[in-house]
Amino acid sequence: MRFVFRPPATDGAGLLDLPWHLPLAEWDPSLLLEVPQRGISRHVVRFVAQAGGVFALKEISEPLARHEYALLGHFQEEGLPAVAALGICVDRPHGQDAILVTRYLEYSMSYRYLFSRPTGRHSVAQLLDTLVVLLVRLHLAGIFWGDCSLSNTLFRLDAGTLAAYLVDAETAERHPQLSDGQRSYDVDLARERVGAELLDLQAGELLPEQIDPIEVANSLPPRYEALWNEVTREEVFRREEQRYRIAERLQRLNDLGFDVGEVELVTLPDSKVKLRVETRVAEPGNNRRELFRLTGLEVQERQARRLLNDLRGFRAYLEETQGPVAENVAAHRWLAEVYQPVIDAIPPELVGRLEPAEVFHEVLEHRWLLSERAGRDVGTMAAARSYFQGVLSRIPEEVTTASVIAKRQQPNAR
Confidence of residue 388 (pLDDT cuts 50, 70, 90): very high
Q: Is residue 289 part of a domain?
A: no
Q: Is residue 309 part of a domain?
A: yes
Average pLDDT (48-76) is 90
The confidence score (pLDDT) of residue 284 equals: 46
Last residue of a domain, one of 70, 103, 136: 103
SS3 of residue 107 by DSSP:
coil
Alpha-carbon dihedral angle through residues 189, 193, 198, 202, given to the nearest 10 degrees: 140
Q: Is residue 363 part of a domain?
A: yes
Question: Over 70: is that where the pLDDT of 51 sits?
Answer: no
- Provide long-range contacts, Cβ within 8 A and 24+ apart, for 253-260: 253/277, 253/279, 254/282, 254/286, 256/133, 256/227, 256/230, 256/231, 257/133, 257/137, 257/281, 257/282, 257/285, 257/301, 258/137, 258/140, 258/231, 258/282, 259/283, 259/285
Alpha helix segments (H runs only) across 284-410: 286-295, 301-322, 327-334, 340-344, 356-374, 380-390, 401-408
Last residue of a domain, one of 69, 103, 137: 103
The pLDDT tens digits of the residues spanning 150-206 come to 999 999 888 777 889 999 999 999 999 999 999 999 999 999 999 999 999 899 888
The confidence score (pLDDT) of residue 414 equals: 47
Residues 207, 184 share a domain: yes
Residues 132, 67 share a domain: no
Burial of 370 (0-12, 13-18, 19+ CB in 10 A): middle
The confidence score (pLDDT) of residue 297 equals: 94
Residues 383, 314 share a domain: yes
Residues 171, 91 share a domain: no
CATH number at residue 209: 1.10.510
Last residue of a domain, one of 44, 69, 103: 103
Residues 115, 220 share a domain: yes
* Start-to-end Cα distance in the chain: 29
Residues 272, 220 share a domain: no
Bond prior to 176 in cis (omega within 30° of 0): no
Q: Is residue 292 part of a domain?
A: no
Q: Is residue 59 part of a domain?
A: yes
Average pLDDT (205-223) is 90
Q: Is residue 286 part of a domain?
A: no
Question: Over 70: is that where the pLDDT of 398 sits?
Answer: no
Residues 113, 63 share a domain: no
CATH number at residue 50: 3.30.200
Question: Over 80: is that where the pLDDT of 396 sits?
Answer: no
Question: Over 60: is that where the pLDDT of 411 sits?
Answer: no
- Position 68, amino acid: E
The pLDDT tens digits of the residues spanning 278-310 come to 666 545 467 888 899 999 998 988 888 889 888
Number of domains in the chain: 4
The confidence score (pLDDT) of residue 183 equals: 97
Burial of 51 (0-12, 13-18, 19+ CB in 10 A): middle
Residue 140 structural domain: 108-230
Tell me which residue of 134, 157, 154 sits closest to 224, measured CA to CA: 134
Q: Is residue 293 part of a domain?
A: no
Tell me which residue of 53, 147, 61, 44 sits closest to 97, measured CA to CA: 61
How many residues are present in the chain? Answer: 414
Question: Over 80: is that where the pLDDT of 229 sits?
Answer: yes
Residues 381, 358 share a domain: yes
Residues 189, 167 share a domain: yes
Residues 243, 215 share a domain: no
The pLDDT tens digits of the residues spanning 95-131 come to 899 999 999 888 888 888 887 765 555 678 888 989 9
The pLDDT tens digits of the residues spanning 231-250 come to 888 878 776 666 557 767 77
Confidence of residue 260 (pLDDT cuts 50, 70, 90): low
Residues 224, 116 share a domain: yes
Residues 343, 243 share a domain: no
Average pLDDT (368-390) is 89
The pLDDT tens digits of the residues spanning 1-46 come to 888 887 766 666 778 888 999 999 999 998 888 775 565 677 899 9
The confidence score (pLDDT) of residue 334 equals: 95
The pLDDT tens digits of the residues spanning 128-153 come to 989 999 999 999 999 999 999 999 99
348 Cβ contact list (under 8 Å, min separation 6): none
